[in-house]
C-alpha cells in the first residue's frame, strides 16, 4: 500500500509539473472518398521527413504521403483522396507499430498499414505539428501553435511551457531531460521536473532554434546564426555557422544541412575545435534547400525541397538522387495562382512564384516550363483564341505568348501604368475607341487591370485611367465585357466604362453590391457575376437589377479572378470554403470541399471532360460527370 501511495503521489506531482490544463484530443477515423475519376496533383518533390515502417520507406511531402521501395520507386501514394485531411505533411515517426504523421494544418495522424486516424487537439488547441520524436514508451509531439505534447499510446499529456507563445520547431530527448527548440523564444530544457529557458541573454547566437542532436555525449543546438553546446550551466558557443536547417550523427561524424543547399561536416576529433568547419563535397542542386537529415539503412538521407538524395560515404561518394518522382507528373510548385486551357487543349498552370507549366492534361505530361525574370509571379492567364496568344498578367508586367511559345513583354517602360498586373482582357478596339474602323490600326484592344489603375493598349500605345479620371480606386483586380460594356472590379467598388470614360460606380451605398472589394468577374449570357472579397457573390442582371447570393452561400471571400463559367455552371473559388458551383438554369448552389488540395481555391478552368481546381496546395481534376446531380 505504501508503494502504491508513493507512486500515486509521484504521478500527481508529475501531472502538476507538466501543467494543470485538461488535454482533450479527439480521434477521428479517416475514410477515403469515392473518387469517381477525381485526380489530385501535388508537390511530392518537396520532402520534409522520412521514416521506415513495416519494412517500407515513407516520405512526408507537400503533396501527401509517399511509400518507396529500396530502389526509390513509388509503391503507393496517399492523398486527400485516400482520407488524409491535409497534404502538407511535416514529420514522421514510428511508435508502437504505428506510423505517426505530422501535418501543418490538421494535427496528428496515425497509420497502421491499413487505415488513417486523425488526432484533433481540441484543448489546448493545436493544428501545426512541427516535430515528432519516438522513444520506447512515449511519442513527443512538438507543435507550432500548442506547445509540446506527450503520448504513451493511450493518453495524451501536455507540457505547460514558461512561454505561452512557444512555437516549437524541434524536440530532442535524453531521458529524463527534454530539449525543445522554438521559432523565436530560444531553447527550453525540461530537467528535474521544471523548465529552464535559454535565450540570447544566456549565450545563444539567436533565439530561433532549428535542430538539436547528441554527439559524443554532448547536446548540440543549432540556430539560424550559429552552433552551441548545451551544458548544465548554460551555453558554450562553438561555431558561427549560419543557415543550419537540420543536423544528424552519421558514423563518427556530425553533419549539418543548410537551407542554402550545402551539407557540411563538423569535425569530431578531440584534438580539433568544433569551430573549424569542414565543407564536404556534398552540394545540393540549384534551388534545393535541406529540410531534414536522416541516418538509416547504413546511408545518409537528405530530404530537400527538390527531392531525396542519398549517399553511403559522405565526402567520398557524391549525393545521388533517390528519384521518387520520375514516373509521375510533378507540379513545379504547390501554390497555383492562375489556370487556363488554350485552343490546343493544353493546360496552363501559373504559380505564385515559379512561372508557368504548359501541360498535356490527359496524360498528364509537362510540355514546357516558362520561367524568367518576367514570367515568375503569375496573377492571371487569358487564352485568346482569335489571335492564338496567351495574355499573362504578372508582377513584372504583361507577357504575350504566341502559339509557338514566343514571348512579347510590356512594362512601365512601354507606357503601362504599373507592372503589378492583376488581370488582362482582350476586347474589340471600337469598344473603347468608338472611331471608324479605318482610323484604327488594330481591331483589338487589351485591357490591363493593375495596382495603380487601368491601362488599355491599342494602336501600338497605352492609354491609362486612375482615380483622377473617376475610377473608384487605383487598386484594380479584374475586368469583364458584357455586350458593349466594360466593367472593372476594384478595391472600392465596381466601375462601368463607356469608351475611356467611367459612367457609373457600384458601391454598397448606392446599390445592392454586397461588398466594395470586387475581386472577380465572370459573364454568362448577359449576366455579370460579381465575386467580392468578404461579401460573397452578386449578379448584375440584363435588366440592371443586382441580386445577392449571401443568403444561400454566405458572405464568403472570393479569391482574385477565381471565377469561371463552363456550360450552364458558374464555378467560384473562395478563400476558406472551397468551391461553390451555381447551376445557372436552376439557380441552385452546391459546394465541393473534399478532394481539393485545400479550401483556399485560387483558380479554375475547364475542358470538355473535366474541371480543374487549383489551390495553394496543388491541383484537382474533377470529371464533369462527377458533378452531375
Grid coordinates representing 465 are 485611367
Cell 465585357 found at: 481
Specify the pLDDT at position 280: 56
252 burial class (0-12, 13-18, 19+ CB within 10 angstroms)?
Answer: exposed
Neighbouring C-beta atoms of residue 270, cutoff 10 Å: 7
Nearest residue to 90 (alpha-carbon basis) of 285, 336, 256, 292: 292
pLDDT of 118 above 70: yes
pLDDT of 3 above 50: no
Position 276 confidence tier, pLDDT thresholds 50, 70, 90: very low
**What is the residue-averaged pLDDT of the chain?**
90
Mean predicted confidence (pLDDT) in 317-344: 83
* Pairwise pLDDT comparison (148 vs 261), residue with the higher score: 148
With the C-alpha atoms ordered 362, 367, 373, 374, is the resulting torsion angle positive or negative? negative
Grid coordinates representing 57 are 520507406
* Pairwise CA distance, residues 251 & 320, whole Å: 19
Specify the pLDDT at position 267: 58
DSSP helix, strand, coil percent of the chain (3-state; round to 5): 5, 55, 40
* Pairwise CA distance, residues 456 & 502, whole Å: 14
* Pairwise CA distance, residues 553 & 539, whole Å: 14
pLDDT of 21 above 60: no
Mean predicted confidence (pLDDT) in 248-277: 72
pLDDT of 432 above 50: yes
pLDDT of 10 above 50: no
pLDDT of 442 above 60: yes
Mean predicted confidence (pLDDT) in 436-450: 75
Specify the pLDDT at position 88: 92
Position 434 confidence tier, pLDDT thresholds 50, 70, 90: low
* Pairwise CA distance, residues 210 & 247, whole Å: 9
Specify the pLDDT at position 436: 54
> Residue 451: CB partners within 8 Å, gap ≥ 6?
418, 420, 422, 474, 475, 476
447-504: per-residue pLDDT in tens?
A: 999 999 999 998 888 999 999 999 999 999 999 999 989 999 999 999 999 988 999 9
pLDDT of 278 above 80: no
H/E stretch holding 425 reads: strand 421-428
Nearest residue to 53 (alpha-carbon basis) of 92, 108, 106, 102: 92
503-533: per-residue pLDDT in tens?
A: 999 999 999 999 999 999 999 999 999 999 9
Grid coordinates representing 66 are 509517399
Grid coordinates representing 172 are 530532442
Mean predicted confidence (pLDDT) in 523-547: 96
Specify the pLDDT at position 455: 97
* Pairwise pLDDT comparison (549 vs 274), residue with the higher score: 549
Grid coordinates representing 596 are 481539393
Three-state secondary structure readout of 37-105: CCEEECCCCCEEEEEEECCEEEEEECCEEEEECCCCCEEEEECHHHCCCCCCEEEEEEECCEEEEEECC
Grid coordinates representing 528 are 455579370
Mean predicted confidence (pLDDT) in 1-12: 48
Does a cis peptide bond (omega within 30 degrees of 0) precede residue 169? no
Mean predicted confidence (pLDDT) in 556-581: 97
354-368: per-residue pLDDT in tens?
A: 999 999 998 889 999
Cell 559522405 found at: 314
Q: Can you spell out the DSSP letters for 499-521?
A: TTEEEEEE-TTTS--S-S-EEEE
The 3-state DSSP class for residue 4 equals helix
H/E stretch holding 432 reads: helix 429-432
* Pairwise CA distance, residues 369 & 378, whole Å: 13
Cα of 360 vs its chain's centroid, Å: 23
Specify the pLDDT at position 316: 75
Measured CA distances, 476 to 404, 516, 546 (Å): 31, 12, 21
pLDDT of 623 above 60: yes
pLDDT of 18 above 50: no
pLDDT of 94 above 60: yes
Specify the pLDDT at position 346: 96
367-401: per-residue pLDDT in tens?
A: 999 999 889 999 999 999 999 999 999 999 999 99
Q: Which of the residue ranges 50-64, 280-294, 371-385, 492-506 would you say has the lowest mean pLDDT?
A: 280-294
Nearest residue to 83 (alpha-carbon basis) of 613, 440, 595, 512: 595
The distance in angstroms from the start CA to the end CA of the chain is: 67
Cell 504583361 found at: 398
Percent residues over pLDDT 70 in the chain: 92
The 3-state DSSP class for residue 12 equals helix
Specify the pLDDT at position 100: 98
pLDDT of 181 above 90: yes
Amino acid at each position: 500500500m505504501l508503494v502504491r501511495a508513493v507512486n500515486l503521489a509521484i504521478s500527481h506531482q508529475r501531472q502538476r509539473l507538466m501543467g494543470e490544463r485538461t488535454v482533450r484530443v479527439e480521434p477521428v477515423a479517416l475514410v477515403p472518398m469515392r473518387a469517381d475519376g477525381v485526380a489530385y496533383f501535388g508537390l511530392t518533390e518537396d520532402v520534409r521527413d522520412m521514416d521506415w515502417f513495416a519494412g517500407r520507406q515513407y516520405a512526408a511531402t507537400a503533396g501527401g504521403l509517399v511509400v518507396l521501395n529500396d530502389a526509390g520507386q513509388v509503391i503507393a501514394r496517399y492523398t486527400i483522396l485516400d482520407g488524409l485531411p491535409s497534404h502538407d505533411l511535416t514529420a514522421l515517426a514510428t511508435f508502437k507499430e504505428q506510423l505517426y504523421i505530422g501535418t501543418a494544418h490538421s494535427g496528428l495522424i496515425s497509420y497502421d498499414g491499413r487505415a488513417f486516424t486523425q488526432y484533433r487537439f481540441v484543448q489546448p488547441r493545436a493544428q501545426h505539428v512541427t516535430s515528432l520524436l519516438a522513444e520506447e514508451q512515449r511519442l513527443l509531439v512538438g507543435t507550432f501553435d500548442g506547445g509540446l505534447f506527450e503520448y504513451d499510446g493511450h493518453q495524451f499529456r501536455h507540457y505547460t511551457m514558461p512561454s505561452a507563445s512557444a512555437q516549437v520547431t524541434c524536440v530532442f530527448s535524453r531521458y529524463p531531460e527534454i530539449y525543445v527548440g522554438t521559432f523565436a523564444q530560444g531553447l527550453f530544457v525540461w530537467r528535474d521536473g521544471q523548465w529552464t529557458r535559454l535565450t540570447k541573454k544566456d549565450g545563444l547566437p539567436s533565439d530561433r532554434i532549428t535542430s538539436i542532436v547528441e554527439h559524443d555525449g554532448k547536446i548540440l543546438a543549432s540556430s539560424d546564426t550559429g552552433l552551441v553546446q548545451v551544458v548544465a550551466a548554460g551555453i558554450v558557443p562553438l561555431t558561427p555557422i549560419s543557415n543550419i536547417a537540420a543536423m544528424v550523427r552519421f558514423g563518427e561524424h556530425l553533419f549539418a544541412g543548410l537551407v542554402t543547399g550545402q551539407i557540411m561536416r563538423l569535425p569530431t576529433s578531440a584534438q580539433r575545435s568544433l569551430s573549424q568547419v569542414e565543407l564536404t563535397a556534398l552540394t545540393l542542386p540549384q534551388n534545393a534547400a535541406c529540410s531534414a537529415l536522416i541516418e538509416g539503412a547504413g546511408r545518409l538521407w537528405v530530404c530537400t525541397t527538390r527531392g531525396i538524395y542519398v549517399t553511403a560515404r559522405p565526402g567520398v561518394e557524391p549525393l545521388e538522387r533517390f528519384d521518387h518522382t520520375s514516373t509521375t507528373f510533378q507540379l513545379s510548385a504547390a501554390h497555383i495562382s492562375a489556370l487556363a486551357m488554350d485552343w490546343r487543349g493544353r493546360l496552363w498552370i501559373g504559380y505564385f512564384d515559379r512561372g508557368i507549366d504548359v501541360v498535356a492534361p490527359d496524360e498528364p505530361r509537362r510540355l514546357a516550363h516558362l520561367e524568367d525574370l518576367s514570367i515568375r509571379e503569375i496573377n492571371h492567364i487569358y487564352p485568346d483564341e482569335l489571335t492564338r496568344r496567351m495574355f499573362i498578367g504578372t508582377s513584372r508586367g504583361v507577357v504575350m505568348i504566341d502559339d509557338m511559345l514566343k514571348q512579347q513583354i510590356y512594362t512601365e517602360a512601354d507606357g503601362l501604368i504599373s507592372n503589378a498586373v492583376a488581370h488582362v482582357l482582350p476586347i474589340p478596339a471600337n469598344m473603347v475607341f468608338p472611331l471608324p474602323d479605318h482610323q484604327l490600326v488594330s481591331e483589338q484592344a487589351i485591357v490591363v487591370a493593375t495596382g495603380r489603375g487601368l491601362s488599355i493598349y491599342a494602336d501600338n500605345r497605352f492609354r491609362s485611367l486612375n482615380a483622377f479620371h473617376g475610377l473608384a480606386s487605383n487598386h484594380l483586380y479584374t475586368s469583364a465585357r458584357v455586350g458593349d460594356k466594360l466593367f472593372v472590379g476594384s478595391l472600392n467598388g465596381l466601375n462601368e466604362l463607356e469608351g475611356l470614360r467611367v459612367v457609373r460606380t457600384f458601391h454598397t451605398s448606392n446599390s445592392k453590391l454586397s461588398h466594395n472589394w470586387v475581386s472577380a468577374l465572370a459573364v454568362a449570357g448577359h449576366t455579370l457575376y460579381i465575386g467580392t472579397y468578404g461579401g460573397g457573390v452578386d449578379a448584375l442582371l440584363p435588366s440592371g437589377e443586382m441580386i445577392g447570393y449571401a443568403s444561400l452561400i454566405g458572405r464568403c471571400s472570393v479569391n482574385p479572378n477565381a471565377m469561371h463559367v463552363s456550360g450552364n455552371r458558374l464555378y467560384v473559388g473562395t478563400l476558406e470554403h472551397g468551391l461553390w458551383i451555381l447551376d445557372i438554369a436552376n439557380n441552385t448552389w452546391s459546394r465541393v470541399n473534399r478532394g481539393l488540395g485545400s479550401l483556399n481555391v485560387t483558380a479554375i478552368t475547364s475542358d470538355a471532360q473535366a474541371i480543374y481546381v487549383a489551390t495553394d496546395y496543388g491541383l484537382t481534376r474533377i470529371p464533369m460527370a462527377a458533378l452531375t446531380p
